[in-house]
Amino acid sequence: MGPPDGGRPIFTIKITDWKRVSMVFEKIDTPPLNSIPDDIRTTEEIDHAIGALTSHVRTVVEKCERKVPASSDRRKFPPDILELVRAKNAALRRASAYPTPEYRSRARALQRKVKARVQEFRNESWNDLMEEINQAFWKITKALKTEGIEEEVLQKISLEPKDDLTPVSLSEVQKLVKSISTKKALGLDGVRNKAIKCFSQPLLSLLVVIFNACLQNCYFPSARKEVEVIGIHKPGKPRDLPVSYRPISLPSGLAKLFERVLKTRLSNHLFGKGFIIDEQFGFRPAHSCPQQVLRLVEYVSEGFKTKQKTVTVFFDVAKAFERIWHAGLVYKLYSLQVPDRLILTIQNFLSNRHFTFRHERTHSTRRLITAGVPQGSALFPLLYSAYTNDISRPTSASSSRSLPMIPRSFIGVGLGAPSSSTFRGPLMS
């Protein structure tokens, strides 16, 4: 007997019983968890513990899933087509209610536009685009070599760390788990954030042991440095060009938890000790773009009152996050007096990372990341702030003032103010 519905296969989706998952997680006497040593010391034991925990979580979740028929097997359209469909439907309703020639013509035009766009979408060849992405857009920018810095960094990271970091506590992990979003996309390890939220206290305690072992060994688990990258189309950009897509990493949920552990310690050092310049508003608590705009307006207004002119220069750095030179970043972390153990852990986090690009069910080949910080990572905004923290500030004469302004991915470069006393020092952005 053939499949129903005219021979078309029935598509299904998986429904997870998360209450049952929570109940099963209470039982920790299982072969995968029993294989984890009580005292985790080496990097091999860390990798084994992470692998065993991941295997246990995936097994439990799979056993608590059931398949149900999907509500629709129609391929989902991209947002621009859905927007066109909504506009077409609205135009049809308007033409039906008020059948004027203008409204009817508008509705027919939108119908033709929707049909053409849907046909274009169905005819797109993503295999060609994937190959182009591999060769062009996703080719990581080769880091510029600065004489002496790489050698100095290699020498420093070869030394034993001189300091210790605050150990990870159970309450810290519980707080981090509580704060994670269940709507984030799935990483390569297949562990959903919702499953992590169902962890029992023994499993959370195991995470504490693993994270502390990682800090002690200055180690980021190798399997968690494999990321999947998707491309988000930039509105208004042509769809057939790789540069029209913004790369977003989909890291493991467990990896992001440990990244937040590192972020907390790095943030406490950089902001707690005042190492980040005051002019940096991006990725900073209680700071935002509206405050920068207000600051700019006030500065210009003061110039009007004193009959001075204000020079402002704005720079937009293309692909800023993807161009960060790893050795240069580590060098700057040392210059910011970040604890050795934290620097070594971050350096391990950045090294030997690989990615694959995915579009729908198509994957690119596995590639090594040699520069940049992963977008989608909990650490990358803070690392970028540290990387750009030593930006040159403009200097000016006594009659002039300088006001660097560096919001988000913008880097300011100061220009010398004119010698005339009617000019003030440049704003930077």
Residues 153-175: pLDDT tens digits?
Answer: 888 888 888 888 899 999 999 99
Q: What is the pLDDT of residue 418?
A: 34
- Count: domains in the chain: 2
Same domain membership, residue 174 and residue 110: no
Asked whether residue 208 falls in the same domain as residue 352, the answer is yes
Three-point CA angle 329, 253, 283, nearest 5°: 45
Residues 80 and 153 in one domain: no
pLDDT band at 309; cut points 50, 70, 90: confident
Q: Which of 92-101, 114-123, 247-256, 306-315 has the highest mean pLDDT?
A: 92-101
Output helix, strand, coil percentages for the chain, rounded to the nearest 5: 45, 10, 40
Angstrom CA distances, 382 to 126, 266, 378, 408, stand at: 34, 8, 8, 11
- Provide mean pLDDT across the span 298-327: 79
Mean pLDDT of the chain: 78
Least confident residue range of 45-54, 201-210, 283-292: 283-292
pLDDT confidence of residue 34: 85
Residues 152 and 124 in one domain: no
Helix (H) or strand (E) holding 260: helix 253-272
The more confident residue out of 288 and 130 is: 288
Report the pLDDT value the prediction gives residue 73, as an integer from 0 to 100: 39
Domain contains 33: no
Does 399 fall in a domain? no
Residue 406, pLDDT above cutoff 80? no
Q: What is the pLDDT of residue 67?
A: 83
Asked if 210 and 40 touch (Cβ cutoff 8 Å), the reply is: yes
**Nearest partner of 46 among 303, 348, 428, 285, judged by Cα:** 348
Give the model confidence (pLDDT) of 343-386 as tens digits.
999 999 988 888 888 877 788 888 888 887 776 678 888 888 88
Confidence tier at 143 by pLDDT (50, 70, 90): very low
Residue 120 or residue 179, greater confidence: 179
**Residue 407 phi, psi (nearest 5):** -85, 135
d(CA 359, CA 230) in angstroms, rounded, equals: 6
Does residue 416 have a pLDDT over 80? no
| Between 178 and 152, residue with greater pLDDT | 178
Is position 35 within any domain?
A: no
What confidence category does residue 146 fall into, taking pLDDT thresholds of 50, 70 and 90?
Answer: low
Whether the predicted pLDDT of 53 surpasses 80 = yes
- Location of structure tokens 């190492």: 275
Distance CA 171, CA 406 (A): 35
Same domain, residue pair 299 and 350:
yes
Percent of the chain predicted with pLDDT > 70? 80
DSSP codes, 65-90:
EEEEE-S--SPPPPHHHHHHHHHHHH
Q: Confirm whether 43 is domain-assigned.
A: no
Same domain, 340 and 193: yes
Q: Give 88's contacts (C-beta < 8 A, 6+ positions apart).
A: 107, 110, 111, 113, 114
Residue identified by tokens 């029993």 is: 34
Residues 125 and 200 in one domain: no
Residues across the chain? 429
* Domain annotation covers residue 398: no
Of 130, 162, 196, the one marking the end of a domain is 130
Please tell me whether residues 186 and 93 are part of one structural domain.
no
Residue 406 lies in a domain: no
Nearest-angstrom CA–CA distance, 169 and 204: 10
Query: Is 266 within 8 Å of 346 (Cβ atoms)?
Result: yes
| Residue 66 CB coordination number (10 Å) | 10
Backbone angles phi and psi of 254, in degrees to 5 = -65, -35
The range of the structural domain enclosing residue 80 comes to 75-130
DSSP string, 122-158: HH--HHHHHHHHHHTTTSPPPPPP-TTHHHHHHHHHT
In a domain, 241, yes or no: yes
Q: Name the range with the highest mean pLDDT among 209-213, 248-252, 298-302.
A: 209-213
Query: Which of 388, 404, 422 is the last residue before a domain boundary?
Result: 388
Q: Do 415 and 394 contact (CB within 8 A), yes or no? A: yes
Q: In what order do the strands lie in the sheet with 403-404?
A: 312-313, 427-428, 403-404
Q: How much of the chain, in percent, has pLDDT values that exceed 90?
A: 18
45-49, 211-215, 346-350, 373-377: segment of lowest average pLDDT: 373-377
Q: What is the pLDDT of residue 214?
A: 93
State whether 99 and 217 are in the same domain. no
Distance of alpha carbon 260 from alpha carbon 266, whole angstroms: 10
How much is the pLDDT for 170? 94
Residue 19 in any domain: the answer is: no
Asked whether the predicted pLDDT for residue 275 surpasses 80, the reply is: yes
| Pair (193, 108) in one structural domain | no
* Site of tokens 């910080």: 373
């049909």: which residue's tokens?
115
CA–CA separation, 6 and 1 (whole Å): 12
> Average pLDDT, stretch 246-271?
88
Residues 168 and 178: their CA atoms lie apart, in Å, by 16
**Residue 297, CB-side half-sphere exposure with 13 Å CA sphere:** 6
- 177 lies in the same domain as 90: no
Residues 370, 257 share a domain: yes
CA-to-CA distance for 194 and 170, rounded, in angstroms? 19
pLDDT of residue 428 exceeding 90: no
